[in-house]
Amino acid sequence: MTDSSKLQIAIIGAGIAGLGAAIALKHHPAIDVQVYEKASELREIGASIALGPNGMRTLDRLGVQNALDDEVAFRNKSRYPMIYRHWKTNEIVSTDSHAGEVEYRHLTSRFYRAHLQEALAKHIDPSKIHLSKSFQSVAFDAATKKLIITFTDGTTATADIILGADGIHSPVRTFFVPTSSTAWTGWVAFRSVFPISHVAHIKDLPDEANHFWGPDRTFFVSKLGRDLFTVVGSYQADPNAPDAPYKDSTWNSDGNVDTIREFYKDWSPLVRQIVDAVPHTRVYPNSAAHPLETWVLGNGKVTLAGDAAHAHGGAFAAGGSLALDDAWAFASSILHVFPVDAKKKPTEAEIQKALRIYERTRKPHTDRVMRVVHENNLKKIAQYSEGKKLESDEQLRARIKNRADPSWIHEHDVQAAFAQAVAAEAAGRGASNEQARL
Ligand SMILES: Cc1cc2nc3c(=O)[nH]c(=O)nc-3n(C[C@H](O)[C@H](O)[C@H](O)COP(=O)(O)OP(=O)(O)OC[C@H]3O[C@@H](n4cnc5c(N)ncnc54)[C@H](O)[C@@H]3O)c2cc1C
């Protein structure tokens, strides 16, 4: 039951961002949070998802300690977030490192996405999550000053604030910004998650997360929690080529293991043994969008989080952590204008202020992520597109070693960004001040 005497916040989407935001707001006695999810159940679809120290710290701050547990979060013993190996020789060519001090429980971790979603959902009263509720539209009722949300089943719900956390193709985003769109980046991943028993017999099976790089494709392997193992084979096609393979396939569609066996037939015997043991695979063609002009929508009562706000196509395996940091920043901005001991609900102007602070906290960072993603995609397309001569072994090794350091993404300090945004708002500075610092 919704409670209109409280500040009503409707979260659309029970993914990582939506659940994170609901957890971050749940202790406020005068906030009523309801989560509306399109799916009929929080199903076990998806494969592996990574969280960097930023996402792990945010989970910790939200009190989601069950997700930090070794039972579901797999961390490299070596503490390297990622190990890069040569496709033919298996030798380690390079490693990523954490830039700052990182405690064990905040080390970069890999999850089976369903485990992470389940760990988050455990912190929310199930009566607050409404399944089979697919957002369709929203209207403003001038008499009550409430937003009226309509779902595709014809039912409605009221809210003072809407957080659109409804993923990459966000119907909330397209309702308010009809010109926004996502497009296939040309990057295709074959993802598989299966019991580790399928590959346990393989001598020299990597027991850490490893990324093998070849001249035109990559191969990622990692253990996951609860004795699972993941394999992600991926390659870059030219999305503009009319005959690009998988151009028309849909995200999370059935894949063919024979295709990936063919893909890696010239790779090292270790990689081939792993690929031969993969029992099934699914295809994920990735899409990305360009940054929105603003996240303050619907007359200052609606905003977005996670992929809905900044569909970046999964690059840097950053989507989960970005979503959690959004969730924390959104909740912190609301609590800034409406602290737990506040005597009355925030005014419309105060709600707008909260959404501005949220935008100032997150948008400069996620815009920068998206800019880098699009630049990198263009480089990859130029490098891999049909007819290009593949690079030499020397060039490949140099590319692995000279890749950009991603720690500014994985160790981004959302608390510091929030403090700066609050100070900038208090000083009446324009959002361009933050942008200019990038
Ligand atoms: C089923 C699924 C599997 C995924 N698997 C992987 C994976 O294997 N690896 C990986 O790196 N990333 C995966 N992702 C993406 C990853 O979860 C996100 O990139 C990242 O975590 C950001 O989270 P998010 O909350 O913004 O979006 P998401 O996690 O995508 O969550 C969005 C939620 O909104 C719901 N929704 C969509 N439309 C509506 C609507 N009209 N009304 C109400 N609810 C709606 C969706 O059902 C979903 O639950 C997956 C996403 C989903 C939905």
List the CATH number of the domain containing 128: 3.50.50.60
Q: How far apart are CA 57 and CA 238, in angstroms?
A: 37
In a domain, 381, yes or no: yes
The number of distinct structural domains making up the chain is 1
**DSSP letter, residue 128:** G
How many other β-carbons are positioned within 10 Å of the β-carbon of residue 424? 18
> Would you give per-residue pLDDT tens digits along the chain (438 residues)?
566 689 999 999 999 999 999 999 999 999 999 999 999 988 766 689 999 999 999 999 999 999 999 999 999 999 999 999 999 999 999 999 999 899 999 999 999 999 999 999 999 999 999 999 999 999 999 999 999 999 999 999 999 999 999 999 999 999 999 999 888 888 889 999 999 999 999 999 999 999 999 988 999 999 999 999 999 999 888 888 888 877 777 777 788 899 999 999 999 999 999 999 999 998 888 888 889 999 999 999 999 999 999 988 777 889 999 999 999 999 999 999 999 999 899 999 999 999 999 999 999 999 999 999 888 888 877 776 655 667 889 999 999 999 989 999 999 999 999 999 999 999 987 554 344 332
119: CA distance to ligand 1 center in Å? Answer: 15
Structure tokens at 19: 């659940």
Q: How far apart are CA 24 and CA 324, in angstroms?
A: 10
Identity (one letter) of the amino acid at 287?
A: S
Determine the residue of 34, 43, 49, 118 to mutate for testing ligand 1's pocket, defined as the one with the most ligand atoms within 8 A of the Cβ atom: 49
Partnered with residue 253 across adjacent β-strands are 283
- Number of the ligand 1 atom closest to the C-alpha atom of 16: 25
Angle at 354 between CA 171 and CA 67, to 5 degrees: 65
Q: How far apart are CA 230 and CA 55, in angstroms?
A: 20
In a domain, 401, yes or no: no
Q: How far apart are CA 199 and CA 194, in angstroms?
A: 9
- Number of the ligand 1 atom closest to the C-alpha atom of 17: 25
In a domain, 269, yes or no: no
In a domain, 366, yes or no: yes
What is the domain extent for residue 308?
A: 7-72+111-181+289-385+406-436
Question: Does residue 320 line the site of ligand 1, with CB under 6 A?
Answer: yes
Q: How far apart are CA 157 and CA 179, in angstroms?
A: 26
Would you say the C-alpha torsion 365, 109, 213, 265 has a positive or negative sign? negative
Question: Which H or E run includes 273?
Answer: helix 269-277
Question: Which H or E run includes 285?
Answer: strand 282-289
In a domain, 66, yes or no: yes
DSSP E strand boundaries for 297-433:
302-304
In a domain, 374, yes or no: yes
Question: Does residue 22 line the site of ligand 1, with CB under 6 A?
Answer: no
Q: Shortest CA distance to 117 belongs to which of 362, 324, 325?
A: 324
**How long a stretch of residues is the chain?**
438
Residue 64 · residue 41 · CB < 8 Å: no
Question: Does residue 313 line the site of ligand 1, with CB under 6 A?
Answer: no
Q: How far apart are CA 267 and CA 273, in angstroms?
A: 10
In a domain, 14, yes or no: yes
In a domain, 171, yes or no: yes
